[in-house]
Amino acid sequence: MITGELKSKIDGVWNAFWSGGISNPLEVIEQITYLLFIRRLDDLHTLAENKAQVTGKIENPVFTEEQADLRWKNFKDSDPATMLTTVSTKVFPFLQQLGGDGSTYGEHMKDARFTIPTPALLSKVVDLVSDIPMTNRDTNGDLYEYLLSKIASAGVNGQFRTPRHIIELMVGMTAPQPMDEICDPACGTAGFLVAASEYVRETHPGSLTDATQREHFHKSMFHGYDFDSTMLRIGSMNMLLHGIESPDIRYRDSLSEGVSIDADKYTLILANPPFAGSLDYESTSKDLQRIVKTKKTELLFLALFLKLLKPGGRAAVIVPDGVLFGSSNAHKSLREALVEDQKLDAVVKLPSGVFKPYAGVSTAILFFTKTNSGGTDNVWFYDVHADGFSLDDKRDAISANDLPDVLERWSARDTTEADRTRTEKSFCVPKSEIVGEGYDLSLNRYKAVEYDEIEHRPPLEIIGELETLEVEIAHGLEELKAMLK
């Protein structure tokens, strides 16, 4: 956790941006991201200099001797006016020409646009970034997570993050392994990839001491696509600050470009793609149209996930409820494909308030394994009533929380779960019953409603009571009339 002092500094910088006329949270984070990247470049150059003391030569220097004034350590202590001139007229053009340090996040910095308007604000932000202990992965990650939480509190331009506790649930249920290749085709701020990396660190610490696994972890385990350049920069820096040296975060309109080059590539997909409605056939990948003939983005993304997964690969993805029971041919055929051709593992129904205040749509998490040969036996359903937060726009923390129970029951789904009745929060449904219901995957289709038995009094007894009351009322009225005479 970041300290109260550091958090106060971030809040102070945030307020300074707002008072300085920059009120878009994405832009604020983007500007801080640039400065974090500039500082990282200086750290890389310093590392090369330290190695040169042994080898006698600086290998792959970031800066030339003539560019010494562009280094973080040299401009950070200059007066605010000089600093603003240096950063705006020299450092940012350098970033655009350099393309970073050869990594994908460096490539995204080519489009860096400096918008900090005043010397005082720049000085304040540089002081904050200078105070961050960049060698501490936990601090770096916590700080950036706190910055990203500002998006959730503002929700500008329809941009909002999947709640962290929902991400952690999905990661915990899929249990990423050290040699997985993990992809989020709509990665945004890379929350799923970060959570997966933290899970592997915590549950498989030995994987980072093995040279082969360590190389895989840092350079080929995590893959993310997005078509928003701002999100690519922010997501890349989020991965970097969580200790991933070279994540594969790339520009791609996942539904519009051919996916053949990445077909059958990944062993795990974690995603909450945007469901914006419909696309034109002309702009949609023909590879995906061959899987499902539709314009619906939610169905196209599911088709994409099936295309990208290796046989044996698994997925945990958030879908709107309509995917579960939609009656169009495309809806039905895709659900049939999941049940008959692949292995549908689970449907976890989420409360409709999970994404408030930005969206009230009802959603569910689908868990499936790509087999290309079927394998669905029993589908596990869980009806989440509470996620630890109120389901109104405020989303205040509350004690009611089903998510730990989801994880516990999920791990026992092949044993005790099979015996649960349909009136409980979780239960299993055999494939034959799902087929009989036309591949409808809505939880309410299979959940049994338990009614409390109510004993009603005999009608004549109730009528007798009413007659007695009428006599009492008439008697009272007579007494009242006598008093008024």
- Any idea what the Cα angle at residue 345 is, between residues 340 and 348, rounded to 5°? 125
Residue 385 lies in a domain: yes
Going 28 to 115 to 141 to 411, the CA torsion angle's sign is positive
Single out the residue of 169, 154, 134, 140 nearest to residue 43, CA to CA: 134
pLDDT tens digit string along 434-462? 999 999 999 999 998 766 677 788 898 88
Is 90 contained in some domain?
A: yes
The amino acid at residue 452 is: D
Three-state SS for 166? helix
Angle formed at CA 91 by CA 86 and CA 94, multiple of 5 degrees: 140
The two three-digit tokens of residue 54, written as one number: 């042994």
Report percent pLDDT > 90 for the chain. Answer: 43
pTM for this structure? Answer: 0.83
Q: Which of 56, 9, 30 is nearest to 116 (CA)?
A: 30
Do 124 and 248 lie in a common domain?
no
Residue 139 in tokens: 């601090």
Is residue 410 exposed (0-12), middle (13-18) or buried (19+ Cβ within 10 Å)? buried
User: Residue 33 has what pLDDT?
Assistant: 85
Query: Looking at the structure, do residues 126 and 47 belong to the same domain, yes or no?
Result: yes
**φ/ψ of residue 430, rounded to 5:** -70, 150
**DSSP-based three-state secondary structure for 177:** coil
- CA 205/CA 213 separation, integer angstroms: 11
Average pLDDT across the chain, whole number: 86
238-265 residue pLDDT tens: 888 888 888 899 888 777 766 678 889 9
Residues 88 and 201 occupy one common structural domain: no
Contact at 8 Å (CB) between 387 and 351?
yes
Is residue 41 in some structural domain? Answer: yes
Q: Do 250 and 353 belong to one domain? A: yes
- Mean pLDDT, residues 159-165 taken together: 75
Q: Is residue 151 part of a domain?
A: no
Judge if 368 and 294 occupy the same domain.
yes
Q: Of the candidates 140, 169, 202, which is a domain's last residue?
A: 140
Same domain for 55 and 107? yes
Examine the domain organization and report whether 257 and 375 are in the same domain: yes
Q: Kindly state whether residue 480 falls inside one of the protein's structural domains.
A: no
Distance CA 364, CA 272 (A): 10
Tokens read off for 170:
């999905």
CATH code for the domain of 396: 3.40.50.150
Residue 459 belongs to a domain: no
Q: Output the domain CATH number for residue 13.
A: 1.20.1260
Tell whether 339 and 414 lie within a shared domain: yes
- pLDDT of the residue at 154: 46
Q: Tell me whether residue 469 is in a domain.
A: no
Taking only the tens place, the pLDDT of each residue in 103-139 is 666 677 777 789 998 999 999 889 888 887 777 777 7
- Same domain for 384 and 354, yes or no, is yes
- For residue 80, whether the previous peptide bond is cis, meaning omega lies within 30 degrees of 0, is no
Task: Please give the Cα distance from 284 to 304 (Å, whole number).
Answer: 11
Name the residue range of residue 8's domain: 4-140
Structural domains counted in the chain: 2
- Torsion of Cα atoms, 28 then 33 then 39 then 45, to 10°: -150
Strand partners, 251: 226
The answer to whether residues 134 and 251 belong to one domain is no
* pLDDT 10s digits, 171-217: 999 999 999 999 999 998 899 999 999 999 999 988 888 899 999 99
Look at residue 212 and tell me if it is in a domain. Answer: yes
**How much is the pLDDT for 324?**
95
Report pLDDT for 280. Answer: 57
Q: Which two tokens stand for residue 435?
A: 């087929």
110, 140, 170 — which closes off a domain? 140
Host H or E run for residue 479: helix 459-484
CA distance 335 to 326: 10
135 and 171 co-located in one domain: no
Same domain, 253 and 124: no
Per-residue pLDDT for 155 more than 50? no
- Banded pLDDT at 160 (limits 50, 70, 90): low
Q: Are 247 and 199 in contact (CB under 8 A)?
A: no
Amino acid identity for residue 454 in this structure: I
